[in-house]
């Protein structure tokens, strides 16, 4: 039987309607074994962090106020979703009581000893411990066989507090001993409710996996289950408040199309360009065993096609992303006399490195007469003065610079000449000049340097020509 690991973020855990939808989703996946990973309720992690950081200055009255607020948020939800006369109701309420008094104790410790890194992780872990337990009690009161598992029982990490990395060998052992025996029984209605975001190090202290880390929890579990379990038919679903990964930030194109099929390398590429929907480390966890991941809209649980699936398969017809760097500077170093001389680029980049400036796009034609490279606009003054004060560059080169925008177009499709023809034709129609261009051998990404004022227009015309839904195009 297939295994599905679903992650429910804070926005899936807000009220009765949302919890009922989780129940509906549970029915939709009745033929799969289910593992649910829950985040903290919206805003709770931030509030916990703020409380931990301010306790020394603000004293206990603010702490009391914040704890009361956390209590109220959780009790309100419990009262909406679990009938009062049930055992589940009483257990959920008791849980909140017990956990919040433990939280109170640790906050007192922080006040006494200071905010050691360990405490930050421990304090923030309460968000998921509260939310996930409530989810498990809710599912139980619906008659399902849900069981609560704090992830620090199964995910073992290094000691890197606030941003811990899983130690897979140790984690696999735990999964093998604690999860597999139950998962591999025939009881398909069994639902594991596992806290997102949390792990523990070898000495037993709670660690956390970085902000937004519940997605990571889901992918770590998938990887470990694949490694040690018999059943290899595993998929991860992240329920989000968007339809999936969008090809273009809606700030540029309000009705940007959803990317339907994307492979791991393309997905990593767009994640690196700031598509905040998914962290690259989640992809890294899945890629090893080629485990598919779906990003789906929580509002539309039974959507048949309009969602993103990340797997080995990609849709070659689709461009996977158009992103932009809005504020960049291109620096060009020109010389007629310095061609075919080794070490010029090394000197340029050494100068940038010395000044802590990171270089993004680099472009030089084979004639070697000029070299252009792009840096963040905020670094431009520093970069220019470093180069102009360097005797070597002053004597033999001309240095030019201009504020520009960079467009990145991502997807295997960019490797085809035909795509570039369409792209340049489209830009040409709008009179948009491409000042510099770069695509490296292995990269599924083409970067274009254009006039800043033309950025939005460029993105829109590229969207029209390359991203609009292929099916829609065929119909019209």
At 451 the three-state DSSP class reads coil
Binding window for ligand ASP (CB under 6 A); candidates: 38-46, 146-154, 222-230, 354-362: 38-46
Strands (DSSP E) along 86-208, which ranges? Answer: 145-149, 190-195, 198-200, 206-208
d(CA 373, CA 365): 12
**Closest distance to ligand ASP from the beta carbon of 2 (Å):** 24
Selection from ligand ASP, Mg ion, none that 214 binds (CB < 5 to 8 A by kind) is ligand ASP
Query: What is the chain's length?
Result: 476
Q: Which residue has the tokens 């090394």?
A: 346
User: Closer CB to Mg ion, residue 10 or residue 411?
Assistant: 10
Q: How many residues bind ligand ASP (CB under 6 A)?
A: 11
Residue in 276, 244, 271 with CA at minimum distance from that of residue 257? 244
H helices of 403-454, in order, are 417-429
- On the CB side of 443, CA atoms within 13 Å amount to 14
Q: 401 — phi, psi (to 5°)?
A: -150, 155
Q: Does 311 interact with Mg ion (rule: CB under 5 A)?
A: no
d(CA 217, CA 205): 17
Q: Which residue has the tokens 């199964």?
A: 154
User: Closer CB to ligand ASP, residue 127 or residue 150?
Assistant: 127
User: Closer CB to ligand ASP, residue 194 or residue 348?
Assistant: 194
User: Closer CB to ligand ASP, residue 40 or residue 234?
Assistant: 40
Q: Does 172 interact with Mg ion (rule: CB under 5 A)?
A: no
**Closest distance to Mg ion from the beta carbon of 360 (Å):** 30
**Closest distance to Mg ion from the beta carbon of 130 (Å):** 13
Q: Does 132 interact with ligand ASP (rule: CB under 6 A)?
A: no
**Closest distance to ligand ASP from the beta carbon of 135 (Å):** 14
Report the Cα–Cα distance between both ends of the chain, in Å, rounded. 42
Q: For helices 44-81 and 87-113, give the axis angle rounded to 10 degrees.
A: 160
User: Closer CB to ligand ASP, residue 45 or residue 88?
Assistant: 45
Q: Does 127 interact with ligand ASP (rule: CB under 6 A)?
A: yes
* In contact, 306 and 244? CB cutoff 8 Å: yes
Structure-block tokens of residue 4: 């599905």
d(CA 365, CA 427): 22
Q: In degrees to the nearest 10, what's the CA dihedral of 352, 354, 358, 362?
A: 30
Q: Of all helices (H) and strands (E), which one includes residue 364?
A: strand 362-364
d(CA 460, CA 322): 10
d(CA 362, CA 173): 46
Q: Does 166 interact with Mg ion (rule: CB under 5 A)?
A: no
Q: Does 217 interact with Mg ion (rule: CB under 5 A)?
A: no
**Closest distance to ligand ASP from the beta carbon of 294 (Å):** 17
Query: What is the x/- site pattern for ligand ASP, positions 55-94, by CB under 6 A?
Result: ----------------------------------------
Region 16-75 residues binding Mg ion, contact defined as CB under 5 A? 39
Q: Does 199 interact with ligand ASP (rule: CB under 6 A)?
A: no
Q: Based on the number of CB atoms within 10 Å of its own CB, is 304 exposed (0-12), middle (13-18) or buried (19 or more)?
A: exposed
Binding window for ligand ASP (CB under 6 A); candidates: 37-45, 148-156, 228-236, 350-358: 37-45
**Closest distance to ligand ASP from the beta carbon of 212 (Å):** 5
User: Closer CB to Mg ion, residue 122 or residue 397?
Assistant: 122
Binding window for ligand ASP (CB under 6 A); candidates: 157-165, 211-219, 257-265, 448-456: 211-219
User: Closer CB to ligand ASP, residue 45 or residue 311?
Assistant: 45
> In angstroms, how far apart are the furthest CA atoms of the chain?
88
Q: Does 197 interact with ligand ASP (rule: CB under 6 A)?
A: yes
Handedness of CA 17, 20, 21, 24 (dihedral sign): negative
Interacting residue with Mg ion among 5, 10, 259, 393 (CB under 5 A): 10
Interacting residue with ligand ASP among 12, 22, 38, 40 (CB under 6 A): 40
d(CA 404, CA 360): 13
User: Closer CB to ligand ASP, residue 125 or residue 171?
Assistant: 125
**Closest distance to ligand ASP from the beta carbon of 35 (Å):** 16
**Closest distance to ligand ASP from the beta carbon of 120 (Å):** 12
Cβ atoms within 10 Å, residue 113: 9
Structure-block tokens of residue 70: 């956390």
Residue 231 to residues 37, 264, 304, Cα–Cα distance (Å): 19, 22, 25
Binding window for Mg ion (CB under 5 A); candidates: 8-16, 110-118, 281-289, 422-430: 8-16
Structure-block tokens of residue 435: 């000042």
User: Closer CB to Mg ion, residue 281 or residue 413?
Assistant: 281
User: Closer CB to ligand ASP, residue 44 or residue 291?
Assistant: 44
Q: Does 211 interact with ligand ASP (rule: CB under 6 A)?
A: yes
User: Closer CB to ligand ASP, residue 37 or residue 459?
Assistant: 37
Region 213-242 residues binding ligand ASP, contact defined as CB under 6 A? 213-214
* Binding residues vs ligand ASP (CB under 6 A): 10, 39-40, 45, 127, 196-197, 211-214
* Binding residues vs Mg ion (CB under 5 A): 10, 39
């Amino acid at each position: 039987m297939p295994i599905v690991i679903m992650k429910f973020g804070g926005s899936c855990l807000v009220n009765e309607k949302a919890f009922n939808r989780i129940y509906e989703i549970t029915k939709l996946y009745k033929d799969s074994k289910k593992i649910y990973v829950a985040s903290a309720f919206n805003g709770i992690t931030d509030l916990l962090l703020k409380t931990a950081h301010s306790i020394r200055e603000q004293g206990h009255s603010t702490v009391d106020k914040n704890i009361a607020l956390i209590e109220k948020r959780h009790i309100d939800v419990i009262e909406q979703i679990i009938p009062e006369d049930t055992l589940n109701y009483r257990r959920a309420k008791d849980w909140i009581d017990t956990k919040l008094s433990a939280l109170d104790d640790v906050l007192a410790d922080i006040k006494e000893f200071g905010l050691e890194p360990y405490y930050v992780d421990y304090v923030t872990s309460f968000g998921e411990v509260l939310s996930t337990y409530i989810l498990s009690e809710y599912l139980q009161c619906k008659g399902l066989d849900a069981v609560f598992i704090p992830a620090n029982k199964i995910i073992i990490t290094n000691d890197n507090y606030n941003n811990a990395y899983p130690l897979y060998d140790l984690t696999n052992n735990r999964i093998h001993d604690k999860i597999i025996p139950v998962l591999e029984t025939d009881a398909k209605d069994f639902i594991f409710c596992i806290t997102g975001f949390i792990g523990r190090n070898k000495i037993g202290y709670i660690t956390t996996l970085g902000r937004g880390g519940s997605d990571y929890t889901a992918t770590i579990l998938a990887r470990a289950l694949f490694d040690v379990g018999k059943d290899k038919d595993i998929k991860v679903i992240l329920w989000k408040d968007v339809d999936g990964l969008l090809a273009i930030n809606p700030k540029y194109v309000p009705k940007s199309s959803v990317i339907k099929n994307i492979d791991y390398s393309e997905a990593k590429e767009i994640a690196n360009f700031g598509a905040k929907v998914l962290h690259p480390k989640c992809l890294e966890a899945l890629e090893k065993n080629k485990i598919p991941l779906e990003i789906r809209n929580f509002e539309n649980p039974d959507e048949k096609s309009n969602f993103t699936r990340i797997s080995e398969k990609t849709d070659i017809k689709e461009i996977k992303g158009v992103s932009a760097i809005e504020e960049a500077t291109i620096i060009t170093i020109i010389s007629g006399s310095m061609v075919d001389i080794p070490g010029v680029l090394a000197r340029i980049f050494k100068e940038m490195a010395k000044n802590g400036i990171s270089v993004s796009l680099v472009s030089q034609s084979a004639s070697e007469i000029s070299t252009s490279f792009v840096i963040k606009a905020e670094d431009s003054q520093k970069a220019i003065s470093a180069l102009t004060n360097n005797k070597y560059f002053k004597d033999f080169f001309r240095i030019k610079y201009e504020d520009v925008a960079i467009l990145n177009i991502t997807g295997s499709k960019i490797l085809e000449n035909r795509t570039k023809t369409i792209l340049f034709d489209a830009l040409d129609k709008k009179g948009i000049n491409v000042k510099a261009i770069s695509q490296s051998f292995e990269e599924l990404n083409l970067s274009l340097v254009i006039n800043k004022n033309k950025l939005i227009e460029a993105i829109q015309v590229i969207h029209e020509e390359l991203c609009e839904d292929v099916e829609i195009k065929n119909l019209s």
